Structure 1
Amino acid sequence: MAQRESWATRTGFILAAVGSAVGLGNIWRFPYQVGEQGGAAFLFIYLALIVMVGFPVILVEFVVGRNTERNPVGALKRLGTGAWTKIGWVFVTAGFVILSYYSVVAGWTLRYVLIGLQGNYTADSAPDQFGAVASGLDAVVLHAVFMAAVIAIVALGIERGIELSVKLMVPAIIVISLGLAAYVFTLDGAADAYAYYLSPELSTITAEWTTILPAAAAQAFFTLSLGMGVMITYASYLGEDRNLASDAGIIAGLDTFIAFTAGLIAFPILFAAGIEPGASGPALIFVSLAAAFAELPFGGLLGAIFFGTVAIAALSSAISIMEVVVSYLIDEQGIDRLPATVALGVAIFLVGVPAALDLIFIDLYDGFANSILLMLGGLLLSIFVGWVIPDLALEEISKGIKNVGSLGSAWVWFVRVPVVIALIALVALNAWDYYGFLTGGFAEWLSTNF
């Protein structure tokens, strides 16, 4: 067997993992989730879940990946027996489905960059403009363009493709985001926007927690790239001298910082234009923000920069998701990287075509993969690590950490009890919500169209 690839530098790994986490989940999904779920109340619960669930589960995936040096399917085959060997398929399936519609949404951002450069954002007909971009032949073509870029980068490998690209993309995302946040601070209405975003009301949290909690958990998993095998796969290219806890903390911290900054950008722009943050749902940045850009001085250029940042972030995440499914073919089937990448890229593109033709399929795919599969994968892997291989997990996390002592044992206990209990509840809540969608909106769509 040929020598397996590895990261050239620690910085490369950190930026790749951050790039995976910093994507559409931060800049597209996070603001509309905040808008739909009560503003600062959602932010408060989301941050709590990042610390109490997200960080421990990152370490769970890191331990499994580094110990086995394999993709999610191969990793569980090496460590597990019986039904446990099948867990890896949950991760690979989640990544495959997510990337199929993720690429469609990323394609929209490319079109909105061009619209901004042409100075064509519109306040009066923003929904119609979005409708023209979001579905149809143009959406299919942009979906294909984005997937072609993903294929090209992943086909070049870990060092020459993924690591080199993220060293350029992630710093650019951070610098541009900070610049935009500084600019919108000067807008009229910024103070009201910050109050909405940063001042949680206890009454909202206590009254709406059953709705906010599953949405915040799904967002935390999506934005940290958990449950789709990315962190398992990326950690599989790590050496034993690396401090997994330190790396996980940096990755979670930077990802959360950029998501938080996306809110600091989006809400002052919306408030300055007098637009309700929760009005547009998933189309928030493409309808409400685009309409707001049309009302701002130099709005076309500002919008082009914003959507360009979203496109870069989407690409940095997409290559990581693609690497998960590609690494399966390389590790388990012995297929060379180039044909594996091209074949899977074409397959993912084809699965995403329905989502490019009708928005209902984005809800269908997103609800299944993001709300159920991600947390189901996290739950099953946490049970496996916490209850089946706790000694091996403790030994693995101790590598690269001096005097881990009781902290390692505390992490194992936290994974096996609080994290598992929380994820069981969250999987159940999200499954119930998805059932409601299937029997409601999707059933109505089926009856109307067939």
Structure 2
Amino acid sequence: MFERENWATRMGFILAAVGSAVGLGNIWRFPFQVGQEGGAAFLLIYLLFIFAIGFPAMLVEFVIGRRSQRNPINAFEELGYKKWMFAGAIGVVTAFVILAFYSVVGGWVFRYAGASLTGAYFADPTAYFNSIAMGYDALAFHAVFMLLTGGIVFFGIKRGIEIAVKLMVPAIVVLLIFLGIYALTLEGAMDGISWYLEPDFAVLAENWTSILPAAAGQAFFTLSLGMGAMITYSSYLGEDKNLGKDGASIVGLDTLIAIMTGFVVFPILFTIGVSPGEGGAGELFVGLGGAIAELPGIAAEVVGFLFFFTVLIAALSSAISILEVVVSFIVDNFRIDRKIAASAVSLAIFLTGVPVALDLYWLDIYDHLTAYILLPLGMFFLVVFVGWIYEEAEEELAKGVGNRSLIRAWLWHVRIPILIIIGIVLLLNFDWYLAEYAGVSYIDWITGLF
């Protein structure tokens, strides 16, 4: 009988899941999403999605993972629903594509951490970003980031992932606290905080068709939902764990770190008059890099290094969970050595990310395809399965919890409100994707009829 690994400690699982959720989704993607979608109005909708949809949806993945003790694809076969394996396959494919572009961005972060110490981007942040974002240098650092990620997964659950996240996640929190305190002392910081925390409901009313999909995509992305990561990590759990309590801890810590990132980024941007949202995917590097460059004396080098080092740790903690999704499938199905599987999958993901490293056009394609289409699509099918197909979901969640009324409320929340909301978001997202890349909008066509 093939024996799978398990987490050595409950804390190891929680920190690994938090590390998966935090990553670049919180520290790279979150600030430019907030900036592009109108600040506090987006933040408000994002938080609603996190707690009303994200937390219950995370429990959906936990139920599948712990009950099956298998990877996202074979989980359905183990549960007796082989025809539903396609739902897990969507997650594995999504994880593969996400890490292919995620690793390229991770390479940028690696580069910026070192460049902060030398001041390489201080003179002209835009020119520096443009020089390192694409080309053979970007390809080389993409390779370095994948080597680091693959190296951690290479050593397995207990000796690799669990040890790494026990160091990484506390370091992220400590560094963000330090940077947040420093950012709040800057002149003009309060303008950034006001913009970040005081919603303009006129912006929400005017742009709700873009804010809702963006907020939903960010919620799924940052919690690693719909990509199989939470199914994979929970598959290494014992049966006595309280999934509700663990899920609440993970969602709470992840959201706290996202909000803390805003307290670092926006005060620094407003201090030198940089408008949030102008830089798109490069905002963290161009906008914040420029703001850091304006800091006096050695503060620029110290703050720049600490910030980008924090981002690097977060990126790695998330990347290892995404890689583990694909590696667990290979190990479970083909019974090959984990070291070989981790090496082979890392190479395949690196090759898939080559177009992104050479042309940023592919970054938008990969990012929008996964965040706007594949993540909510995968989550939609998982919610249908647990809510309406799998009859033992309530029993599985009850292990270690005991409060049947809360569990029943969760199940009906999954069955109706969450399913409807994810369905609506998916329709909006698909319309946005068609409009963006094909110039066609069925929503505009329908509203034009009236």
Q: Same-fold call, TM > 0.5?
A: yes
Give the residue type in structure 2 aligned to 1:194.
Answer: I
Q: Which stretch has the larger CA shift, 362-371 or 347-356? A: 362-371
Q: Is the 8 A contact 1:17 1:231 kept in 2?
A: yes
Q: 1:33-432 residue pairs with structure 2 within 5 A? A: 33-81=33-81, 83-122=83-122, 125-297=124-296, 298-389=299-390, 391-402=391-402, 404-432=403-431
SS of aligned partner of 2:374: helix
Instruction: Please give the alpha-carbon distance, in whole angstroms, between the structure 2 residues aligned to 1:427 and 1:78.
Output: 28
> What stretches of structure 2 of length at least 5 have no aligned partner?
441-450
Deviations 1:9-68 (A, max 9, x none): 011000000000010000000000000000000000000000111001000000000000
For these two proteins, the number of residue pairs brought into alignment is: 438
TM-score (norm 1): 0.96
Deviations 1:360-411 (A, max 9, x none): 101111111121111111100000100001x300000000113x12111111
Instruction: Please give the alpha-carbon distance, in whole angstroms, between the structure 1 residues aligned to 2:373 and 2:198.
Output: 30
- Number of the residue aligned with 2:4: 4
SS of aligned partner of 1:87: helix
Q: Is residue 18 of structure 1 aligned with residue 33 of structure 2?
A: no
Q: Is the 8 A contact 2:132 2:138 kept in 1?
A: yes
Q: Is the 8 A contact 2:368 2:433 kept in 1?
A: yes
Instruction: Please give the alpha-carbon distance, in whole angstroms, between the structure 1 residues aligned to 2:162 and 2:211.
Output: 36
Instruction: Please give the alpha-carbon distance, in whole angstroms, between the structure 1 residues aligned to 2:200 and 2:118.
Output: 41
Instruction: Please give the alpha-carbon distance, in whole angstroms, between the structure 2 residues aligned to 1:84 and 1:419.
Output: 19
SS of aligned partner of 1:191: helix
Percentage of pairs with the same residue: 54
Instruction: Please give the alpha-carbon distance, in whole angstroms, between the structure 2 residues aligned to 1:302 and 1:440.
Output: 43
- Number of the residue aligned with 1:447: none
Q: Is the 8 A contact 1:79 1:85 kept in 2?
A: no
Q: Is the 8 A contact 1:12 1:167 kept in 2?
A: yes
Deviations 1:287-312 (A, max 9, x none): 01011111112212211110111011
Give the residue type in structure 2 aligned to 1:138.
Answer: D
Runs of 4+ in 1 over 3 A off after TM superposition: 80-83
1:433 Cα deviation after fit: 1.5
What do you get for the CA RMSD once the two structures are aligned? Answer: 1.2
Deviations 1:54-92 (A, max 9, x none): 001000000000000000001022225364222110000
Instruction: Please give the alpha-carbon distance, in whole angstroms, between the structure 1 residues aligned to 2:111 and 2:281.
Output: 17
Instruction: Please give the alpha-carbon distance, in whole angstroms, between the structure 2 residues aligned to 1:83 and 1:243.
Output: 29
1:279 Cα deviation after fit: 1.1
TM-score (norm 2): 0.96
Instruction: Please give the alpha-carbon distance, in whole angstroms, between the structure 2 residues aligned to 1:409 and 1:369.
Output: 31
Instruction: Please give the alpha-carbon distance, in whole angstroms, between the structure 2 residues aligned to 1:411 and 1:421.
Output: 15
Q: Is the 8 A contact 2:76 2:82 kept in 1?
A: no
Instruction: Please give the alpha-carbon distance, in whole angstroms, between the structure 2 residues aligned to 1:267 and 1:82.
Output: 48
SS of aligned partner of 2:268: helix
SS of aligned partner of 2:73: helix
Instruction: Please give the alpha-carbon distance, in whole angstroms, between the structure 2 residues aligned to 1:235 and 1:369.
Output: 22
SS of aligned partner of 1:72: coil
Q: Is the 8 A contact 2:40 2:197 kept in 1?
A: yes
SS of aligned partner of 1:226: coil
Instruction: Please give the alpha-carbon distance, in whole angstroms, between the structure 2 residues aligned to 1:436 and 1:206.
Output: 20
Q: Is the 8 A contact 1:134 1:356 kept in 2?
A: yes
Q: Is the 8 A contact 1:77 1:86 kept in 2?
A: no
Instruction: Please give the alpha-carbon distance, in whole angstroms, between the structure 2 residues aligned to 1:242 and 1:229.
Output: 20
Q: Is the 8 A contact 1:94 1:370 kept in 2?
A: no
Instruction: Please give the alpha-carbon distance, in whole angstroms, between the structure 2 residues aligned to 1:240 and 1:231.
Output: 16
Q: Is the 8 A contact 1:154 1:162 kept in 2?
A: yes
1:204 Cα deviation after fit: 1.9
Instruction: Please give the alpha-carbon distance, in whole angstroms, between the structure 2 residues aligned to 1:396 and 1:83.
Output: 21
1:437 Cα deviation after fit: 2.7
1:134 Cα deviation after fit: 0.4
- Number of the residue aligned with 1:30: 30
Deviations 1:146-198 (A, max 9, x none): 00011110010000000000000000000000100000010011111111000
Give the residue type in structure 1 aligned to 2:251.
Answer: A
- Number of the residue aligned with 1:448: none
Instruction: Please give the alpha-carbon distance, in whole angstroms, between the structure 2 residues aligned to 1:85 and 1:352.
Output: 26
